Amino acid sequence: MEGHTLHPLVRFQRRTVNGGPGPARNDAIDIACYPTTLFLDDDILLAPGTLAKLDESGLPSTRKDPSLIGHVAWDNSTTVTPFMQWMTDGGPLFPYARITDHDDCHWCHYVTSLAVSSTELVKMERFTDRLRCRYEDLELGYRLQRRHGNRLRYVAGATAGDLHGRGLAEWLLALRRIEADLVLLSAMTGDEMADAFGIIRAKALTSFATRPLRIASSLIRTLEPQMLLPLRFDRYYGDLWEWQSLSQSYRIIQNFFRILAIRDALGLAPLTAVDTETDSASFAEQLIANLNFPATRAEFGA
């Protein structure tokens, strides 16, 4: 890093206080001197030709120009686990399959792991400092669309690789911080997405069943260690069924932890189990202990 500070085209800004991603990006916006600003996360590596693809799609240089997002997936240097595959295949991390109109995306797809906007526009709005962990980019995307009518275009051919692998236990533990910011994001955007974010459902629940979660946990421990990647479904149907079972198990476990994190952020009490003597907080600890088996710890250093 120190060597790069001598680069004639790269400027480094050092912050003395960790205020989260929003203020850090605002520091860079303040000194931006070109009409177009490219946002990247620090663990994202651009693929060759990505800048050319963005240029072909029309780089935004005025406040009237559409902002652009590219396509981020796991970097080729990263070993993809079954859980990481699920995160990109209908899971929560790279939800590009949910984009219905590539030329006019919803603001919730404004993810600055790879995004391009007019410098003039982002200088006007800037990132919030209230979201300290996540979603500060979505909140900015909301304001860009609602206040300025800024259209968001998805450029699928502009690709980049994520260098930071995720493990299941690591992800579940992080959800408490992540979903607290999601609840705040929902409030900051007028609860427009409260239903889609799962907040309304989480608030309405009063109890839960442990049996589906135990089954899902057991399936993950059984199927994940023997799952081969890349996935092949051409040999026999068992492969497809096993992958579908594993994917659904990931979804069940994640949704349970999301519900708990949302309720915790809202100050709501733990849920009561209907099929055993426990509550959701205690059972969540049991699930984490059960799912954090050696393969996960070795892979991600948990």
User: pLDDT of 166-214, one tens digit each?
Assistant: 999 999 999 989 999 999 999 999 999 999 999 999 999 999 999 999 9
Tell me: do 109 and 76 sit in the same domain: yes
Quote the pLDDT of residue 298.
31
CB atoms within 10 A of CB 91: 19
Q: Are strands 67-74 and 152-162 parallel, antiparallel or unpaired?
A: parallel
Angle of the 210-223 helix axis to the 280-291 helix axis, nearest 10: 10
Quote the pLDDT of residue 297.
34
Q: Domain limits at 41?
A: 3-162
Tell me: do 94 and 60 sit in the same domain: yes
Look up residue 259 and give its DSSP letter. Answer: H
CA distance 125 to 148: 10
Tell me: do 27 and 145 sit in the same domain: yes
CA distance 245 to 135: 30
Residues of the chain with pLDDT under 70: 1-8, 16, 90, 232-238, 293-302
Q: Where a domain ends, among 104, 133, 162?
A: 162
Among 141, 165, 149, 119, which Cα is nearest to 296's? 165
Quote the pLDDT of residue 16.
67
Q: pTM value?
A: 0.88
Tokens coding 43: 């663990």
Quote the pLDDT of residue 7.
63
Give how many domains the chain has, as a whole number.
Answer: 2
Helix %, strand %, coil % of the chain (to 5) = 50, 10, 40
* CATH classification of the domain holding 115: 3.90.550.60
Tell me: do 119 and 199 sit in the same domain: no
